[in-house]
Structure 1
Amino acid sequence: MKQNIPFESFFIRASQVLGLQSQQDLARALGVNRSAISQAKRREAVPYAWVAILAKEHSLSPQWLATGAGEPHQPGTGPEEGFVQIPKVRARLCAGGGSFEVDDAVEEYYAFSSAWLLRKGVPGMMVLMDVFGNSMEPLIQEGDMALIDQSKKTIIAGAIYAVGVEETVMLKRIERRPGALVLRSDNTGYAPIVLQGEELEQVRIIGKMIWSCREYR
């Protein structure tokens, strides 16, 4: 019979390698509700499925996550190399009117400096997404890839965010106004999008863009 995995020690280990700052961060990393985390903590028993999820998504050792024995990462992927694997998802960010491609399936992984990621935010909550459209030119162009930290949802005026509006996903600068949100484009050919009233119920801040890159052909 498998022994229960104590919650607190599991949470400490996961936080150590993924940069988690709260149990809510753990819930996001696992794709579960916050209530599931509370239940696991109360029962002092972490589901083995959670170990498998984190191990697969972040190239971690399941044994280390569950018991603390051995090394945290699978060979060739851990902090001894100084890198963390960040998933690139199929969903695309629209620098325009909005993308209907919101699939969160992972296509591949990219290695980033673990020290750099930890300075920027919560590595376990970061994803890479392709950009299409020209509304954020000249800073961000079609075909660029953006790194989004889903732990950063607090709006900072002028910062760039991945934002969902109804069934679309966009990349915009966000500004708060009394009773309204304004989504701004860098390209002056695009008018600001002002959302207010019931429209605000359809808005979700996915995360803050902390980096982007461009592949030249």
Structure 2
Amino acid sequence: MIDFYTFFQRVQQATDIATQHDLANALGVNRSAITQAKRRNSIPQKWVLALSRSFCLSVDWLEFGEGAPEAQPLPQSQGTTSFTVPKVLATLCAGDGSFEVEATPVEEHIFKESWLAQKGTPSAMVLMDVIGDSMEPFICQGDTVLVDQSQTTIRPDIIYAVGFDDSIMVKRVAAGPDKVTLMSDNPAYSPVEIQGDELLSFRVIGRVVWSARDY
């Protein structure tokens, strides 16, 4: 099993992840999970797979240092490049917060890479299911959203996947002096202000760039 320090050095070398806080954001886990992995000096296999898919890195290189950092490109079909986006176990709550935060991939979905590139960085994208009704009618219970984890700068009137303490949510986010405000589209839900020491437990996972709904 790969040790924490070797793994982290390779991740820093091949991505824009510079700190352990960045690593936690990329994996969609709480900072305490990174601390525990560092203490054990080992990395869960699912983290290797998650970062491989998010940043298009070779699993063999991440885990064993073999070959090149970049994964082999996907085959082209009739001149159109496809790109596989993982759907992860974690669920975003359109409400008070979901405690299902695992970044483990459970499915794969194929998109046209040029379409993804118009919305952000394909290698940093994941699909997540939504539970709750606080973002209705724009995002509804049972929708699947596409989250670009490379877009974490808070901008007005944009929907983000965010984490607070040990839960994750989908909300509109407003940044103010020494605080952030989480806002719902459903008027039945009041804004939530996070400020002071609470900000240490807040993170932006990524921007919601697309959603899908079954009928």
**Equivalent residue, structure 1, for 2:92:** 93
Match for residue 36 of structure 2? none
Cα displacement string for residues 40-95 of structure 1 (whole angstroms, at most 9, x for unaligned residues) = xxxxxxxxxx89x74899698989x9469xx943557x795421000000000000
- Provide the residue aligned with 1:204 in structure 2: 203
Q: Is the contact made by 1:59 and 1:74 (CA closer than 8 Å) also made in structure 2?
A: no
Summarize the alignment of residues 1-217 of structure 1 with structure 2, pairs less than 5 Å apart.
Answer: 23-24=16-17, 54=52, 66=67, 72-73=72-73, 75=75, 80-216=79-215
Larger Rg over CA atoms? 1
How far apart in 1 are the matches of 2:175 and 2:166? 21
Q: Which amino acid aligns with 1:203?
A: F
Q: Which runs of 5+ in 1 are unaligned?
A: 1-10, 15-21, 32-49
* DSSP 3-state at the match of 1:24: coil
CA contact (8 A) 1:60 1:73 kept: no
CA distance change for structure 1 residues 79 and 144 in 2, over 3 Å: closer, same or farther? Answer: farther
Can you list the C-alpha shifts for 1:108-154, whole angstroms capped at 9, x where unaligned?
10011100111211111100000000000001000000000001000
- 4+ residue runs over 3 A deviation: 22-25, 53-63, 65-68, 71-76, 78-81
Helix, strand or coil at the partner of 2:197: helix
1:208 match: secondary structure: strand
Give the distance between the partners of 1:24 and 1:103, measured in 2 at CA.
Answer: 19
Distance 1:79 1:72, change over 3 A: farther
Report the AA paired with residue 116 of structure 1: W
Structure 2 equivalent of residue 40 of structure 1: none
Deviation at 1:158, TM superposition (A): 1.2
Task: Quote the sequence identity (%).
Answer: 40
CA contact (8 A) 1:88 1:106 kept: yes
TM-score by length of 2: 0.69
Following the alignment from structure 2 to structure 1, what is the Cα–Cα distance between the partners of residues 59 and 198?
Answer: 44
Change in CA separation of 1:74 and 1:126 when aligned onto 2, cut-off 3 Å: closer
Tell me the SS of whatever aligns to 1:82: strand
Does the aligned pair in 1 maintain the 2:162–2:203 contact within 8 Å? yes
Mapped partners of 1:167, 1:200: distance in 2 = 13
1:161-206 CA deviation, whole Å, 9 max, x = no partner? 0000000000000001111100000000000001111111110110
Question: What's the TM-score once normalised by structure 1's chain length?
Answer: 0.68
Q: For 1:145 and 1:161, how far apart are their aligned partners in 2?
A: 13
What letter corresponds to residue 196 of structure 2 in structure 1?
G
